[in-house]
Amino acid sequence: MFRKTCAAILAVSLASFTIARVSGLVARYRPDPAVAWAQDSTQADNDAAQSDSVDNFIESEPDQKSTPPNVGGAWCGSLEDNQLGSGTISMNILQKGSKIRGSWTDDLGASGTLKGKVRGDAVVVTLKPRGTNCRYHVNGTLVSPTEITGNYSIFGCHIADGGNFDINSGC
């Protein structure tokens, strides 16, 4: 009797699992009712589509990734720190694709390494100063091929600080 009960429970469980899996597959792979099939169109639909393509040209080329701007090299310029005041900063940036890394130093007493990315005209970098757990989150904009402006905020340490900067290439 015990064996029959266990076998019945196992059979019901297996059947429930199988039905759930099959229903999930049917739901996942069923035809989408929003899909329009070419053979279902009428001549009026074709005429409207042709008119649209002539009047409102829509480019159907696939999206291609654009090459990021080159920000590699030496950069220097001014910075305005909210607590320490005016200063200058110098950076040496190495670039591989959209990724950048390098080193930096400022005349306000900090230096370290940098790591970030370039996407379009956006330059997003994290500066890691030597000898501290602080990090500087930098949001820059490439306003020309030779100038980046932006702001930064400090995190990961006991002070809240930030500021803005304007740097140029070719230093």
Assign residue 141 the CATH number of its domain.
2.40.128.120
CB within 8 A of 28, min separation 6: which ones? Answer: none
Residue 127: the pLDDT is 94
Cβ proximity of 72 and 114 under 8 Å: no
45 and 108 together in one domain:
no
Is it the case that residue 76 has pLDDT exceeding 60? Answer: yes
155 and 102 together in one domain:
yes
164 and 135 together in one domain:
yes
Q: Structurally, how many domains does the chain consist of?
A: 2
99 and 164 together in one domain:
yes
Place of tokens 């607590």: 83
40 and 88 together in one domain:
no
Please give the Cα distance from 1 to 12 (Å, whole number): 17
Provide the b/e sequence for 74-101 (b: ≥16 CB within 10 Å). ebbbebebeeeeebebbbbbebeeeebe
For residue 31, what are the domain limits? 2-55
Residue 24: the pLDDT is 52
DSSP 85-132: EEEEEEEEEEEETTEEEEEEEETTS-EEEEEEEEETTEEEEEEEETTS
pLDDT tens for residues 5-61? 545 565 555 555 445 554 554 444 455 444 444 445 455 555 555 544 445 544 545
Write down the pTM of the prediction: 0.60
Cβ proximity of 43 and 128 under 8 Å: no
- Residue 160, token pair as written in the block: 């809240």
Is it the case that residue 88 has pLDDT exceeding 50? Answer: yes
Report the percentage of the chain scoring pLDDT > 90: 50
46 and 90 together in one domain:
no
31 and 77 together in one domain:
no
